[in-house]
Amino acid sequence: MDYNKIEDAVMKKAMEFFKDNAVKFFGINTKIIAPAETEIKNVDIKTNYTDYLFYTDDGNYLHFEFQTTDKKEDIKRFLYYDASLFYKEKRKIRTVVVYSADIENVVTQIDAGTIQYKIEAFFMKDLDGDEKLRYLRKKIFNKEHLTSEDILTLTLVPLMGGKESRSERTIKSIELAENISEDTEKLQCLTLLYALFEKFGDSYSKKKFIGVISMTEIGRMLKEEGKAEGKEEGKAEGKAEGKAEGKAEILIKLLIKKFKSVPNEYKEDIKKLPEETIDVIATDIFDLEDIQELSKYFK
């Protein structure tokens, strides 16, 4: 299975599910009407990406960010996102930052003179992930129907508080999702879990997740999509060349999702790589910590 095709195939489903259920889970009194474009082009034509961005029924934006580290500069980045959005669309933005359990005290506002900026912080440490896992395990193994809140809870358990480590709860969340008997519920859970995974999964749990997802309906769907895409690309410029180019484009999208941006020279280098090297990068992508590490594959 071509794992680097997962991104595009599941993100749309995950966004739709999150749109319908996030406001209730986080106790936000507003109504989302549609996902908004998460790509932001500022006046310098530099591209950035928010985590989740939605249109609300009052004509404004609801912006979510997920943070597993507490960097003092983060709030400046959120201000930059929101200012760029307002500059472009003239819509008000409500920003909610969801912090994992190991983060307690954060900077929530900036006094920049004329600009006064404030985010809403949601601390996952206040939720007991161990207790939530016990509750969900009982429902899943009793083959009880999972509500939308249950599904969202299961995917967010790794960010919650508890005695077990985040990695341990991540693995248990994956294993529980694997045991969901109802196919639709399993599909919803796995797609959302994948969409949030880049923010809180470590290298081992990500590989575990890939192993699980490859055996599900998502995996079968992606395999068929990969075959179809390879055929279409092959018609355009020859089967082998078209397939490699298609993989290169998908890999670039994955790298943009992970690192927020990819230098143009790296994009061009990736497009010139043989299919085998692209597959290697796709396999190693979860272990890359800096975009500059790509240079080793271009030699």
How many other CB atoms are there within 10 angstroms of residue 75's CB atom? 21
Shared domain check, 110 and 176: no
Domain-embedded: residue 12: no
Tens-digit pLDDT profile for residues 51-91: 788 899 899 999 998 888 788 888 998 999 999 989 888 99
Tens-digit pLDDT profile for residues 117-151: 999 999 999 999 999 999 999 999 999 988 888 98
Q: What is the pLDDT of residue 241?
A: 55
Domain boundary residue, one of 95, 125, 155 = 125
Domain that holds residue 141: 129-218
Query: Once rounded to an integer, what is the mean pLDDT over residues 37-56?
Result: 61
Query: Once rounded to an integer, what is the mean pLDDT over residues 166-187?
Result: 81
- Give the pTM: 0.63
CA 219 to the chain's CA centroid = 17
Domain-embedded: residue 8: no
Q: What is the CATH number of the domain that holds 88?
A: 3.40.1350
Shared domain check, 134 and 104: no
Beta bridge partners of residue 34, listed in sequence order: 55
Domain-embedded: residue 72: yes
- Quick one: three-class SS letters along the chain? CCHHHHHHHHHHHHHHHHHHHHHHHCCCCCCEEEECCCEEECCCCCEEECCEEEEECCCCEEEEEEECCCCCCHHHHHHHHHHHHHHHHCCCEEEEEEECCCCCCCCCEEEECCEEEECEEEEHHHCEHHHHHHHHHHHHHCCCCCCHHHHHHHHHHHHCECCCCHHHHHHHHHHHHHCCCCHHHHHHHHHHHHHHHHHHCCHHHHHHHHHHHCCCHHHHHHHHHHHHHHHHHHHHHCHHHHHHHHHHHHHHHHHHHHHCCCCHHHHHHHHHCCHHHHHHHHHHHHHCCCHHHHHHHCC
Query: How many domains does the structure of the chain reveal?
Result: 3
Tens-digit pLDDT profile for residues 178-233: 888 887 788 778 777 777 766 566 666 666 666 666 555 555 554 555 555 555 55
Higher pLDDT pick, 234 / 177: 177
Domain boundary residue, one of 76, 103, 125 = 125
How many other CB atoms are there within 10 angstroms of residue 77's CB atom? 14
Higher pLDDT pick, 233 / 17: 17
Q: What is the pLDDT of residue 45?
A: 35
Domain-embedded: residue 201: yes
